[in-house]
Chain A
């Protein structure tokens, strides 16, 4: 079975400060990891993914995420937050051995960036 945990319901950060949204995962094999963002009244939008290779992956809107296999984590980061980054963020995992191709999502973390 595969699972994802986002331990923080909400993260508050001041504009211009660095931000981190945490994600840990559990899979039986090698993971494919994804981050999605959901703005109010919108669907989920793809931000970035880790498949293989460099542990630091860069995505849309200046976001990046670091894959840490020993800690089974895939935290989302941005060096300087913008008010427009305020949204709901979802981490997701797919086990490479998952026959159903199902993406399992975490519970989401609301990011609030204050001016």
Chain B
């Protein structure tokens, strides 16, 4: 069974559109994350959710919004897509780290977003 799954794997869309990327984890983890990997492969944290509460919100455009219907899901909504949004987006999860700080993350396989 896939631990962290993202859909879709590939997404090609036009500028100005609104799109969503879904993420689900079956590990029972308390915290989920979204990372953006740019063309130079640099990984930048976008959001972190812990028990439905946003605990990190880096300086990303407000066109990006995370939605967490429950502890196992953290979806990423993007409004008014721009060319610069083209990247690979990774979802990840980890246990509640205040109690277990020695755990790393489990990553999904990524969603390659191309805005044309």
Question: A interface vs B, CB < 8 Å?
Answer: 32, 34, 36, 38, 41-46, 49, 51, 88, 90, 92, 94, 96, 100-105, 107-108, 110
In the complex, what residue of chain A is closest to B55 when comparing beta carbons? A100
Interface size on B, residues (CB 8 A): 25
| A43 & B109 in contact (Cβ 8 Å cutoff) | yes
Is B43 among interface residues, defined by CB-CB distance under 8 A? yes
Are A103 and B41 closer than 8 Å at their CB atoms? no
Contact B102 A49 (CB under 8 A): yes
Give CA–CA (A96, B102) in the complex, Å.
Answer: 9
Residues of A within 8 A of B4 (CB): 43
Contact at A101–B94, with CB atoms within 8 Å? yes
A-B contact count (CB 8 A): 60
Contact check: which of A38, A43, A96, A110 meets B108 at CB < 8 Å?
A: A43
Question: Using Cβ atoms and an 8 Å threshold, which residues of chain A touch B56?
Answer: 100, 102
User: Interface on B for A, CB 8 Å cutoff?
Assistant: 4, 31, 40-43, 45, 48, 50, 55-56, 90, 92, 94, 97-98, 101-102, 104-110
Ordered by A's residue number, 24 sampled pairs between the chains whose C-beta atoms are within 8 Å are A32-B102, A34-B104, A36-B107, A41-B109, A42-B109, A44-B90, A44-B92, A44-B105, A44-B107, A45-B107, A49-B104, A51-B102, A101-B48, A101-B94, A101-B97, A102-B45, A102-B56, A103-B104, A105-B42, A105-B43, A107-B40, A107-B41, A108-B41, A110-B41
Residue of B nearest to A95 (CB): B101
Least Cβ–Cβ distance between B47 and chain A, in angstroms: 11
Instruction: Give min CB distance, A4 to chain B, whole Å.
Output: 10
**A43 to B107, Cβ gap below 8 A?**
yes
Q: Which residues of A contact B92 (CB under 8 A)?
A: 44
**Chain B residue at smallest Cβ distance from A105:** B43
Given contacts A43-B90, A101-B48, A105-B43, contact A32 B108 (CB under 8 A): no
